[in-house]
Amino acid sequence: MGWCDEVLGFCDASGGKAEPPPAAEEIEARLAGLAMDDLVRAWREVCTTGLKGQTDGTDAFTMYFDRLSHEAPERGIALIEAELVGELDDEIVMLLAEGKVLGQLLVFHARRAAPALQELALRQPRLRWLMGAKAASIRSGMVESPQLQRRLLAIADEPGYRAWRQKTRNHAEPTDFAALPLPELAAAWVEITSRSDLERERDGDWGTMFDLQQELVSNDPLGALELVKAILEIEDNPHVLGLLAAGLLEDLIPEENGPVIDAVVTEAERNPRFRRLLGGVWFYGMSPEVSARLEKARGEVTW
The candidate with the shortest Cα–Cα distance to 278, out of 259, 288, 258, 263, is 263
Q: What residues pair up with 170 in beta bridges, in sequence order?
A: none
Query: For position 31, what pLDDT does the model report?
Result: 97
What's the pLDDT tens digit per position in 93-131? 999 999 999 999 999 999 999 999 999 999 999 999 999
The candidate with the shortest Cα–Cα distance to 102, out of 66, 62, 147, 126, is 66
| Least confident segment among 16-25, 64-73, 129-138, 218-227 | 16-25
What's the pLDDT tens digit per position in 208-241? 999 999 999 999 999 999 999 999 999 999 999 9
The answer to whether 275 touches 299, Cβ cutoff 8 Å, is yes
- pTM score: 0.90
